Copies of this chain bind each other. A is one copy, B any other.
Amino acid sequence: MTSPASGRPLRADALRNRAKVLAAAEEVFAVQGTSASTEEVARKAGVGIGTVFRHFPTKESLLEAVLVALLERLAGEAEELRSAADPGEAFFGFFSRVVSRAATKQAVTEALAEAGVDARAATGRAGPGLRAALGALLERAQEAGAVRADVGAAEVMALLAGMSYAAGRAGAREDVLRIAFDGLRPCPDRAAARG
C-alpha cells in the first residue's frame, strides 16, 4: 500500500510526503474523529492541501488509507504472535491490546467494523489479511484448549469490533472484556446452563 494506483513508482520525496500525510491523518482522525477537516491534516503534516489531494484524491480515500494502514499494522502484530509460546495468552493478549488501542483511537474501531463487512473496496482488501492472521491465532488457541472450538474467525472479528466500540465509548473496559473472554472459553456444562 505504498504506491499509487497508477503503476509508476513515486519519487523519494513524494513517498515521504505520502507517509507524512498518512501519519498526520491517523493522528488527526484519532483525536478529532473522522469529521476533522482535510486542511487540519495538511497543517499537521506540514504540507499544502494540494499535496494531500494529490496523494489521496478524495477525503474518503484518505480515510480508507488510514484504516487500511491500521489494519495492516494489526495484522502484522498478529502475525508475530503466531509462534508465541502460549497460544491462549497470544490470542487473548492480542485481543486485549487491540481493544485498549481502540479506546483512544476511534479509527481503529471503524477499521475493524469495516473489515468485517467489506463495505469499502480498500478496507475490503486489507480486512482478509487481519482475518487470516487472527484466524491463525484463534486456531492455535483452540487446539490448545484455551478457546472453545465452535467459534470462527468472523465472529471473533465482530466481537473484537464490538468490544472496541464499547471500550471507546461506554467505559468499563476490563470488566466487559472479562465477560467476552469467558464467553470465548470452553465450558463443559454450558448446555446445562442454557437450560
Known contacts A181-B183, A182-B190; is-contact A166 B158 (Cβ 8 Å) = yes
Closest CB-CB distance, A166 to chain B, in whole Å? 3
A151 near B: Cβ within 8 Å?
yes
Contact B184 A187 (CB under 8 A): no
Contact B180 A155 (CB under 8 A): no
Q: Which of A152, A162, A163 has the most CB of B within 10 A?
A: A162
A165 near B: Cβ within 8 Å?
yes
Closest CB-CB distance, A84 to chain B, in whole Å? 15
Against B, the Cβ 8 Å flags (1 = close, 0 = not) of A96-138 are 0000000000000100111011000000000000000000000
Question: A171: which of B116, B183, B184 is its contact (CB, 8 Å)?
Answer: B116
A164 cross-chain contacts in B, Cβ below 8 A: 162
- Interface size counted on chain A using CB atoms at 8 A: 45
**What's the number of copies of this chain in the assembled complex?**
4
Contact B169 A117 (CB under 8 A): yes
Q: Which of A154, A165, A170, A190 has the most CB of B within 10 A?
A: A170
A180 cross-chain contacts in B, Cβ below 8 A: 159, 179-180, 183
Contact B179 A186 (CB under 8 A): no
A184 cross-chain contacts in B, Cβ below 8 A: 179, 183
Closest CB-CB distance, A67 to chain B, in whole Å? 13
A2 near B: Cβ within 8 Å?
no
Contact A186 B181 (CB under 8 A): no
A10 near B: Cβ within 8 Å?
no
Closest CB-CB distance, A181 to chain B, in whole Å? 7
A78 near B: Cβ within 8 Å?
no
Complex: chain B residue closest to A162, CB-CB? B166
The list of the 7 closest CB pairs from A to B, nearest first, reads: A183-B183, A162-B166, A116-B170, A113-B169, A162-B162, A165-B165, A187-B187
